[in-house]
């Protein structure tokens, strides 16, 4: 029963954070805001979303360390190869070129993706992974969390123009959730993941690739994330002590 409740509560937290971009998107459409204003409205909503988990932690007396906002495991960072695999994941988007033609829009997008990176890591790898980690062993917690993350982002995939792109987008979301959960558990800190999440989304929005090139970028990026995820999975299986000691 406790495990079932943990999964239900995790889904509720996912619905809460996803509700904010949905609400901001509706306001953008209704107000017919321009591109820069749209990004700023979305940013404001993502910033507001952070109030809920911080208030929850305050009320429940949950320390920042429990949601991986303080401290860092040096051996864990070394195990993750000093985050270099995460940087490699960004390369397929960077090598195709990044659009910096409209500086105002670029800055607004960067601000937006930064707010998304902070908020979503706080929810998915901070709150949700903690809930799952208190009720499941390490590997089940990782895979349940990545499924919740993938399902939460599935709706955004259906704006793509082809079935292949829809599938690649969903797969990339699952893989992102996989490597993020593993990295969080190994390093015991989500702040670097917030930066990675920000850059991942920023380059996704701003890359110059078009047409079939986008499909290739997603495929290559997905392949790289799979390699990183499997590598981290092996490290987690070999080092069960990396399981977080989630406190009550």
Q: What is the pLDDT of residues 143-199, one digit of tens each?
A: 999 999 999 888 776 666 688 888 888 899 999 999 999 999 999 999 999 999 999
The whole-angstrom separation of Cα 174 and Cα 154 is 9
Q: What is the pLDDT of residues 82-104, one digit of tens each?
A: 999 999 999 999 999 999 999 99
Q: Where are the alpha helices (DSSP H) in 32-162?
A: 35-49, 51-59, 74-79, 84-95, 103-120, 129-133, 138-157
Under the banding of pLDDT at 50, 70 and 90, the label for residue 248 is very low
β partners of residue 98: 207
Tokens of 71: 């401290």
Please, what is the average pLDDT of the chain? 93
DSSP of 203-242, one letter per residue? HHHHB---THHHHHHHHHHHHHHHHHHHHHHHHHHH-GGG
Distance in Å from the first CA to the final CA of the chain? 17
Classified as helix, coil or strand, 174 is helix
**CA atoms of 123 and 133, how far apart (whole Å):** 14
Query: How many other CB atoms are there within 10 angstroms of residue 134's CB atom?
Result: 16
Query: Which is higher by pLDDT, 215 or 244?
Result: 215
214/204 Cα distance (integer angstroms): 10
The predicted structure's pLDDT at residue 164: 82
Neighbours of 56 (CB within 10 A): 14
């Amino acid at each position: 029963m406790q495990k079932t409740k943990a999964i239900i509560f995790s889904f509720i937290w996912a619905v809460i954070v996803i509700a904010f971009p949905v609400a901001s998107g509706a306001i953008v459409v209704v107000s017919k805001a321009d591109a820069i204003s749209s990004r700023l409205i979305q940013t404001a909503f993502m910033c507001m979303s952070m109030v809920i988990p911080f208030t929850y932690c305050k009320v429940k007396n949950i320390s920042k360390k429990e949601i991986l906002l303080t401290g860092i495991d040096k051996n864990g960072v070394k195990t993750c190869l000093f985050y270099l695999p995460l940087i490699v994941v960004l390369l397929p988007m960077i090598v195709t070129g990044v659009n910096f033609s409209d500086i105002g829009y670029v800055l607004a997008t960067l601000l937006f993706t930064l707010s998304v990176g902070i908020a979503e890591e706080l929810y998915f790898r901070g709150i949700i992974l903690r809930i799952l980690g208190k009720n499941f062993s390490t590997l089940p917690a990782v895979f349940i969390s990545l499924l919740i993350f993938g399902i939460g982002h599935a709706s955004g995939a259906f704006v793509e123009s082809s079935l292949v792109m829809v599938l690649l987008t969903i797969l990339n979301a699952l893989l992102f959730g996989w490597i993020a959960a593993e990295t969080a558990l190994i390093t015991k800190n989500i702040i670097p993941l917030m930066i990675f999440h920000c850059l991942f989304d920023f380059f996704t929005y701003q890359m110059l690739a078009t047409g079939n090139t986008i499909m290739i970028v997603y495929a290559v990026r997905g392949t790289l994330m799979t390699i990183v995820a499997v590598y981290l999975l092996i490290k987690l299986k070999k080092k069960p002590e990396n399981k977080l000691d989630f406190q009550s």
